Structure 1
């Protein structure tokens, strides 16, 4: 059903609260008071057989007594009663229901009963265990957040009700508003994919914050996430990590979906600040202006630690600055102004360097000073930014005395941070987001452009399974790899090989949600290892991204991102990707290589394990992929007005 009827959660004309009681601690009573207190302009119908009046609002003893059909229902009753109530709501014509009943009480049979009662009526269920929803601009607070939320352009979508409530409350204290707030709960019907699909086309939502613990349906999630990320910045915070490889696969899925992953609630909102205000970057560099060299050096150090490269000023910019600053103080980077720099000097220096083509972002730092009003400096920054063609970021290093400056910049659309490190973090997030948007557009085909011998591969697999041997012999494993152009050395081994000999491992991991993934593991001479993952099918762009996220640069002295070693690794990754899609019986695959060199990579360790398809499986390797490949088999050439067109 995808996003069908989800609009009734956010803009209902009437709401029934089923299970509201007179007790002040009742969830239903809290919900009733929150809806009424937010100024909801529609009709509210409390339903409880024990009361005639609740909080001064007429209360109905049963659903059949309601004067009209409620478009949205909030169910606060025990889990065992939910399916019956949903059936009654469906008969009345209701379109959506929020179930607050505890998820722990909703065992499988109760879930199925609720879904069975809802489906004939196309009624959508949010929950169980949901903390509700909010649409602040429509004065709707059908949630357990007492203070509601401020109106804004960001949608918050969280699986955990406690996290949704906590983030909403914190955001209100920081002046951050929301277009929609959704606490999904147990997601027996409406899940994260449905909500992403809805929010992708919501005109009031300009950015999406997603806090997820579980992804129930990989293809549905990836399809919805890719659609959402194409239209608006989509950020994801994952909790409940359970191991390096699963997290690497999740990270690969996030990158392929074009989303930006953050690792803390602080990063979640600083990333929104960056993505909603900074124009696209190309990674040329960063220029830093600060009153005093120390704060500027902090920003430059953070930039370098995060992979940024030194940025040199052009000769033209140096000439302009020499007329504004003493020559002996012109050490770059950063551009250090006097501690008591005036607003006029800030503006003049910004004008001098803002057209420098060596960088596409300018970071202006002001440490608190009693000699110059911060508001005057902020106004100068805003005025210079309006005339500049580059991205301007600001840092106001101090306490409450600098709040006026932060507010002036924020109102003008200039990101305002509290520290140099947070500003650099926001900038790096923007660069990561741009990279992920490029990955989003990659739709590789399933069929390899390389010459492969699929028939030989299938014969090896069928023979092994026919003999009842799931573990493929070393000789046949090498033959299977050879069918896809992956060479083995003169004396490859299966397992017992010294780790000192293996510099690079490419393997298969099957995630219970996202299916098969290609795993790249690189070992450095210092004993440190890095792991990255990619979801097949891959192309050269996606393989290069895997190598970049594998920490290859700087981890192993013999491998550099610009040399032929990277090209060799990427080509092997592509061949393994096609092997995974062509042979669905592959259960385990591990190929160990020595350090890549000028010659073609040859495996020195090979391990292959097969698993027969279940009787109800089609055997199509594409069915288990989280991302559908480009359907090149559907391409055809037609003639149009005497021309042949594809």
Structure 2
């Protein structure tokens, strides 16, 4: 009865600013998920009134109009603690309702869900429940309960398929379900799978359209709209194509109509190339006409125009690329759509390409075409109001054609969801990016260019590292690496054997490899002797192996065959210079290299110093190619990226360890209590800070608080260690850098010195000092720093490195995004330059690495649990063979609400 709800939009829609979220159903259509309001009462009543008697019975256990009426009043009544009702809405019509009620218990809530007749099996109920789960978790609810009839298999399947741990208790004709709201990886994967299916369905009209209309195609040569129309027509698109221009009946032999509503059929994809002020009205007309996707190339939209454009997309089920973009292109056979205004058509191939900069897109399209890699699909994201890199990674993962993904992203909308997607996709294909915005100047330019917040360097690099993304520093390096990953197997390790016909070229190659982090090991005597038997007299069979200017094609081929089959080799780099000797004998040394490709399982790369282009792909006899570089550093960089990818793939996916003795609820109560009395946030006092760390089992050096001279002496007497020495640390609200203010007094050996130290602090900081922290003088150990910063976009970033008073000068830190896996924490601890100090040596035993990892993992857990934790700083964190302890801690809280990064919603 209500199938047409999803097919015929009405003439009005709710304002975007009043919505909680837009999300995609299983078939790719857009719905609004929001809290129920009092004015929804007629809509909820209609939802129940239009249910069949059978569905009403399954929902209320009886065909009871009074129960339905009461349920509608409850859902739309005034807000009350412990109760929440969410509705799914489309085009002003309610499609479903889900609600929970704790009944005052606080941690357990009873739920119910209702979906309009005719809309079952489209994911309405599941989407509502996902949003209900997220809302409940934020309110401290840990479990849902639901009563259902045994015969209500549909709702029982919805509960079972959520991905949450569900138990059932049968009682006659009824079954009670209990659903644990733990944020397990199983649940996140289930949400991810549902989201990916919905996302792919929504992108079909954009990337595989059957009908395309170019709105704004003009008569004047050189206009963007006309250029795109010409590109589509000449690019091989054989499906239906229209132009929209009120002053023409035909453009470039393409039928033209005065408006989108005048087209004979609604276009799947509308390309909008009209002035900025006209974009919102055109988008609204497209939506009303049934268009499913927009490509907005127009730039210069103001805030109000942008809001109206996005509202039209959300209200009318349209996915959008842009605005301010170069266009899109897909080489899918039978589609062949090139809706760009680039100079030429891209070559068909297997690389997926997404960029935020049109100029970068043109350069990469040209480079990939020139190399022969080509593209499967290209999307210029522009200002990225809707379709993002995350969407495209999922498309390429599933399209059956793409085997290499290239991204140029200047901003991230939901980096934690992007990271989760990328971790999965990078195990199937290489994902490469240009690390744009590494400097202050670059970040300012990125923010200006894309109208988006620039991403801090350390945070972005942590994202790339953890997700297995190969990050290049330039367009050239990206193409160099793509050429190798597209054509060669991955190396098993970092060992490179260099073969050359010129000693100087071999030296340059060896330096380049070492600088890129590769190793150039000396060959064993057996390998050196073996190479000596196949190379000409006078050759130096070391590493580099200098074959000399007289080496023949046959000799070089045999040498490469021995090297590629050697257990001492992970990769082979051949660097050649042209010689008159080879020219005179007719030997083709390059042919010897291309012939070596495919003989073994090792990557082989070539460097030709006379080569004009930075990188080329040379055909090999087995039908593959060998990458040829103009200089050794490019080849070494590409090999290093390949080696890092191989190492990342060889390691199993990490898991977030389960930590004992964590009191999350107590920590939340502490935070809430602090923010109740400090609504603007602030730095915790020492006792509050110690209580919070204790909730997570983070070891702290013994300490005591003293606000008088006598109290300081008594505390010192209790806390003195075997050597009898203590430390006094002055404190007052807002004090952050105690050492810089000379508010730390060390090596106090007796009561008199403690009294003198307290009086000194009291005198120097009169009017500020509120007390002192007394601690025993710490034993010897390595001073480290562990901290966390809560990024508004990326979430918590855990930082680790050298600590003590010189930490900011040394700047020896690494970072990873929380929550940390077991692999993440190992990488984090071993990445800084100070890491060798932790392993011992020169008569020093190693520190307790297991205890150190536990501290960092517990800090990660604390930051993940508490979005109000704006900043935390453990410095120094003292690591010794016998354990690890925090000597000084600072924690800054701000009033923030939790935001579920994995909740399904559109940007």
- TM-score band by shorter chain is 0.7 to 0.9
Match of 1:607 among 890, 896, 900: 890
Partner of residue 242 from structure 2, selected from 29, 45, 50: 45
Deviates more, 1:13-22 or 1:112-121: 112-121
The match for 1:433 is: 645
**Superimposed CA distance per residue, residues 150-205 of structure 1 (whole angstroms, 9 cap, x where no aligned partner):** 22211110012232123324544555521211111222222222222212212221
| 1:360 and 2:570 aligned | yes
What root-mean-square deviation, in Å, do the aligned CA atoms of Structure 1 and Structure 2 show? 3.5
Residue pair 2:338, 2:345 contacting (<8 A) in 1 also? yes
Cα offset, 1:553, TM superposition: 4.9
1:534 aligns with 2:534: no
**Are 1:105 and 2:301 counterparts?**
yes
Corresponding residue SS for 2:218: coil
Post-superposition Cα deviations, 1:51-84, rounded to whole Å, max 9, x if no partner, equal 2332344422223432333222111123343333
1:117 matched residue in structure 2: 312
Q: How far does residue 337 in structure 1 lie from its aligned partner after superposition?
A: 0.4
Structure-to-structure mapping, 1:485-496, within 5 angstroms: 485-489=697-701, 491=727, 493=729, 495-496=737-738
- Specify the alignment match of 2:862 in structure 1: 579
Tell me if structure 2 keeps the 8 A contact 1:50–1:61: yes
Q: Tell me, what secondary structure is at the counterpart of 2:423?
A: helix
Query: What TM-score does the superposition give when structure 2 sets the normalisation length?
Result: 0.62
Partner of 1:598: 881
Deviation at 1:212, TM superposition (A): 0.5
- Does residue 130 in structure 1 map to residue 325 in structure 2? yes
Map 1:370-449 → 2, pairs under 5 A: 370-372=580-582, 376-399=588-611, 406-408=618-620, 412-437=624-649, 441-445=653-657, 447-448=658-659
Asked whether the 8 Å contact 1:472–1:608 carries over to 2, the reply is yes
Q: CA deviation at 1:566?
A: 5.2
Provide structure 2 residue ranges, at least 5 long, that are not aligned to the other structure: 1-23, 25-198, 444-454, 703-726, 730-735, 743-780
By how many angstroms is 1:409 displaced?
8.0
Q: 1:298 to 1:458 in 2, by over 3 A?
A: same
The 1:280/1:79 distance shift into structure 2, 3 A limit, reads: same
Residue 258 of structure 2 aligns to a residue whose secondary structure is: coil
1:513 corresponds to: 793
Write the distance in 2 (CA, Å) between the matches of 1:201 and 1:464: 48
Larger-gyration structure (1/2): 2
**Residue of structure 1 equivalent to 2:832:** 550
Flag the 1:300–1:557 CA change in 2: closer, same or farther, 3 A.
farther
**Structure 2 equivalent of residue 472 of structure 1:** 684
Q: Aligned with 2:580: secondary structure?
A: coil
- More moved, 546-555 vs 507-516: 546-555
Which residue in the other structure is 2:35 paired with? Answer: none
Name which structure has the greater RCO, CA cutoff 8 Å, separation 6+: 1
In the TM superposition, what is the alpha-carbon distance from 1:564 to its structure 2 partner?
3.9
The worse-fitting range, judged by mean Cα deviation, of 32-41 and 110-119 is 110-119
Q: State the SS of the aligned residue for 2:238.
A: coil
Matching of residues 6-85 of structure 1 within 5 Å: 6-85=203-282
CA distance in 2, matches of 1:118, 1:527: 50
Partner of 1:267: 477
Matched, 1:282 2:492: yes
1:182-201 matches, within 5 Å, as 182-201=379-398
CA pair 342-488 structure 1, distance change in 2 beyond 3 A: same
Equivalent pairs counted in the alignment come to: 617
In structure 1, C-alpha distance between the alignment counterparts of 2:664 and 2:204, rounded to whole Å: 49
Contact 1:296 1:336 in 2 (8 A): yes
Q: 1:307 to 1:155 in 2, by over 3 A?
A: same
Q: Deviations over 1:23-56 (max 9, x none)?
A: 2232211112222232322232111112233234
Measured at CA, do residues 171 and 354 of structure 1 come closer, stay the same or move farther in structure 2, by a change above 3 Å? closer
Aligned to 2:518: 308
Between the aligned partners of 1:277 and 1:249, the Cα distance in structure 2 is 31
Listed as ranges, the matches of 1:204-283 within 5 Å are 204-241=401-438, 246-283=456-493
Q: 8 Å contact 2:329–2:339 — kept in the other structure?
A: yes
Distance 1:75 1:625, change over 3 A: closer
- Structure 1 pair 557/283, CA: closer, same or farther in 2 (3 Å)? same
Q: Give, in whole Å, the separation in 2 of the partners of 1:256 and 1:387.
A: 34
Q: 1:284 to 1:126 in 2, by over 3 A?
A: closer
- Aligned 8 A contact 1:361 1:392 in 2: yes
| Counterpart-to-counterpart distance in 2, 1:559 and 1:624 | 45
* TM-score computed with the length of structure 1 as normaliser: 0.85
- Residue 656 of structure 2 contacts residue 822 of structure 2 at CA under 8 Å; is this kept in 1? no
For 2:338, the equivalent position in structure 1 comes to 141
- Once the two structures are overlaid, the 10-residue window that deviates more, 283-292 or 312-321, is 312-321
CA pair 455-83 structure 1, distance change in 2 beyond 3 A? closer
1:410 & 1:166 partners in 2: Cα distance?
A: 30
Q: Relative to 1, partners in 2 of residues 1:307 and 1:528: Cα closer, same or farther, differing over 3 Å?
A: farther
> How far apart are 1:398 and its partner, in Å?
1.5
Deviation of 1:268 after TM superposition, in Å, equals 0.9
